[in-house]
Amino acid sequence: MRIRDFIPSVLIGAVASARSMTPMAALAGAHLLRRETPGRLILLDKPLFTAGALAMGVGELYGDKMKSAPDRTVFLGLLARVMSAGIAGAALAPKGYEREGAALAVGTAVPMAYLTLSARKKAMAEIGQTKSGFIEDALIVAAGIAVVAWAIGRR
């Protein structure tokens, strides 16, 4: 196994650092299009999970614009990133190497959550919470979709 085979897992961890539910929503969208991930992902076989992942992805985009939205580095925010990155990192890893993919995604998501928060705070000071949030949303959702599409296309 080559290290570059795990690039999608690392990249989806970076996506999770900024938007915890985007990796799961991107995977759910791919599942609805009947695309299979390289690694095993049993949860998406459940329609309720697929619908929930999509709903939570959309909800997070809305909630992030609220003045009361907590920082992504609070305990529950980091926990959501760990879970989402782990599941998505495993799904995008080569078959049989799901644990390694999950570990790499989580190992990327947690420290990068602090970096993306710092960047977001700087952007908020410059252009405000809502505008910076929409820009971050566009970048991260596009990145999540691109990473999932790339990983699935590499199969």
Specify the pLDDT at position 77: 93
Q: Can you tell me the distance from the alpha carbon of 123 to that of 23, in angstroms, rounded to the nearest whole number?
A: 23
| Torsion 6-7-12-13 (CA) sign | positive
What's the average model confidence in pLDDT over 7-12?
Answer: 98
**Which of the two residues, 27 and 62, has the higher pLDDT score?**
27
- How much of the chain exceeds pLDDT 90, in percent? 79
- Are 16 and 87 a contacting pair, CB within 8 Å? no
Residue 102: pLDDT over 90 = yes
* Local confidence band at 64 (pLDDT 50, 70, 90 cut-offs): confident
What's the DSSP call for residue 40? -
Would the pTM count as exceeding 0.75? yes
Alpha-carbon distances of 124 from 68, 118, 130, 133, rounded to whole Å: 14, 10, 8, 8
* Local confidence band at 69 (pLDDT 50, 70, 90 cut-offs): confident
Residue 46: pLDDT over 90 = no
What's the average model confidence in pLDDT over 30-53?
Answer: 88
| Torsion 22-28-33-37 (CA) sign | positive
Specify the pLDDT at position 66: 75
Instruction: List, for residues 10-19, the tens digit of each pLDDT value.
Output: 999 999 999 9
State both tokens at 58.
């959309």
What's the average model confidence in pLDDT over 62-73?
Answer: 81
Residue 155: pLDDT over 70 = no
Q: For residue 68, count other CB atoms closer than 10 A to its CB.
A: 5
Instruction: Tell me which residue of 144, 89, 101, 88 sits closest to 1, measured CA to CA.
Output: 101
